[in-house]
């Protein structure tokens, strides 16, 4: 049952990686589900509760990082409240209108449009948009690192 549990978790981890690259897929929640299924296969008494708690904490952290990264980048780029929220809304709209990578362009354009609508000059708004774009890419990188941490926590617990 060890290899079945490791295989199940690994397959869900691969789905998680795909979800980081293609954000239309809920990558991190896939890894969480994979950890629970693998623990069930291996036996909760063998795996223990601690790795599952860490996986849950990491999953929540990844979702929070994903949600705020683009907006935080917009702030660093000089965006005000409008650009902050424009980056978030633009990212969500871009994700649904232009999957799979529309969230990146959406964060950039959302922040720019919101800043211009709030009265900033185009050059200032563009800096905010670039910040949102860079923040969103940083969020993707952070989620990828969190997936690595999830694997480091879970795989030894299954073996």
Distance CA 88, CA 103 (A): 9
pLDDT tier at 42 (50, 70, 90 boundaries)?
very high
Taking all residues of the chain, what is their mean pLDDT, rounded to a whole number? Answer: 87
CB 110 within 8 A of CB 135: no
Q: Could you count the other beta carbons within 10 Å of the beta carbon of residue 126?
A: 18
pLDDT of residue 24 exceeding 70, the answer is no
Distance CA 140, CA 48 (A): 30
pLDDT of residue 23 exceeding 70, the answer is no
Q: Which of 6-15, 38-47, 74-83 has the lowest mean pLDDT?
A: 74-83
């Amino acid at each position: 049952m060890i290899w079945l549990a490791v295989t199940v978790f690994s397959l869900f981890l691969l789905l998680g990686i795909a979800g980081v690259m293609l954000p239309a897929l809920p990558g991190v929640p896939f890894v969480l589900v994979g950890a629970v299924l693998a623990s069930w296969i291996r036996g909760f008494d063998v795996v223990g509760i601690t790795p599952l708690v860490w996986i849950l904490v990491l999953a929540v952290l990844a979702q929070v990082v994903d949600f705020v990264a683009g907006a935080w980048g917009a702030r660093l780029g000089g965006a005000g409240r409008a650009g902050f929220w424009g980056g978030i809304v633009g990212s969500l709209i871009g994700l649904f209108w232009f999957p799979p990578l529309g969230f990146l362009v959406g964060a950039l354009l959302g922040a720019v449009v919101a800043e211009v609508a709030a009265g900033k000059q185009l050059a200032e708004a563009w800096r905010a948009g670039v910040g949102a774009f860079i923040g969103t890419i940083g969020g993707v990188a952070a989620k990828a690192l969190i997936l690595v941490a999830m694997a480091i926590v879970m795989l030894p617990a299954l073996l």
